[in-house]
């Protein structure tokens, strides 16, 4: 594990990547099958996964900056 990165960031990254890849894969399969509305719902499931990763990264950088101040 890289120095200075808390374990919860790595867990959130892994979970977010899995969520994003799964939602895109299911969305593409639905789109290829001709199911437009379910594919849009699956594509929309990408957003919370990405948002979780962005939130955790920002929180970790704020925590890191707060601990480095004298």
Asked if residue 1 is part of any domain, the answer here is no
Give per-residue burial for 19-42: e unless 16+ CB within 10 Å, then b: bbeebeebbeebeeeeeeeebeeb
pLDDT at 2 over 70: no
pTM of the model: 0.78
Domain containing 19 equals 7-61
Report which of 15, 23, 11 is spatially closest to residue 47, judged by C-alpha positions.
23
Asked if residue 68 is part of any domain, the answer here is no
In the chain, the number of structural domains is 1
More confidently predicted of 69 and 31: 31
Tell me how far apart the alpha carbons of residues 5 and 3 are, in angstroms, rounded to a whole number: 6
What are 31-63's pLDDT values in tens digits? 999 999 999 999 999 999 999 999 999 998 888
- pLDDT for 17: 95
- pLDDT for 5: 80
Asked if residue 12 is part of any domain, the answer here is yes
Mean pLDDT of all residues in 15-22? 95
Residue 34 is given by DSSP the state T
């Amino acid at each position: 594990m890289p120095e200075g990165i808390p374990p919860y960031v790595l867990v959130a990254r892994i979970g977010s990547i899995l969520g994003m890849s799964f939602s895109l894969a299911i969305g593409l399969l639905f789109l290829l099958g001709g199911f437009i509305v379910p594919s849009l719902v699956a594509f929309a499931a990408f957003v919370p996964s990405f948002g979780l990763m962005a939130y955790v990264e920002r929180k970790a950088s704020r925590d890191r900056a707060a601990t480095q101040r004298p």
